[in-house]
Amino acid sequence: MFARQAINAYAQVGVQTGAMSASPVKLITMLYDGARAAIARAKFHLENGEIVARGNAISKAIDIVDNGLRAVLDHEAGGEVSANLESLYEYMVRRLMLANLHSDGAMLDEVDRLLESLASAWAQIDETSQQAEQ
């Protein structure tokens, strides 16, 4: 039990350290990675019949999408892209809630694929911006 707490604390420090030194684009990619990791945990718990743990993992993914990704959208500067992302994030949150309600792994996979696509685009933006700085 103590070893697990120590590992979790160590991992949390690593994430916090990475976030403090990350660019805004890298922070977005970290949010995508975090949401995808939560969905992966939810799928694991779904397969093992761990209802409470599954619900907690899905709640974490919803929190990241809704209070992380969706909350940082800049509707004034982002225009149509920002509006489209907001609609997509709302859709993802609904699908995650339904996945939890119906114990539906296919819905979790769907949201994970959407997040993977967006994360890939942001990773390319991050790579391009890093190359431009050099």
Residue 1: pLDDT band with limits 50, 70, 90: very low
- The Cα–Cα gap between 79 and 77 comes to 6
Statement: residue 22 has pLDDT above 90: no
| The pLDDT value given to residue 18 | 52
Statement: residue 11 has pLDDT above 50: no
- What's the rounded mean pLDDT across residues 61-85? 92
pLDDT tens digits, residue range 77-121? 888 999 999 999 999 999 999 999 999 999 999 999 999 999 999
Say if residue 32 is exposed, middle or buried (CB neighbours under 10 Å; 0-12, 13-18, 19+): buried
Query: Is residue 35 assigned to a domain?
Result: yes
Which has more confidence, 43 or 18? Answer: 43
Please tell me the total count of domains within the chain: 1
Query: Is residue 37 assigned to a domain?
Result: yes
Q: Which CATH number characterizes residue 45's domain?
A: 1.20.120.340
Percent share of the chain, pLDDT over 90: 63
Q: Tell me what the pLDDT averaged over the chain comes to.
A: 85
CB-based contacts of 90, cutoff 8 Å, min separation 6: 70
Element (H, E) at 103: none
Domain ranges, residue 99:
23-125
Query: Is residue 134 assigned to a domain?
Result: no
Task: Give yes or no for a contact between 61 and 32, defined as CB atoms under 8 angstroms apart.
Answer: no
Statement: residue 12 has pLDDT above 90: no
Which has more confidence, 133 or 64? Answer: 64
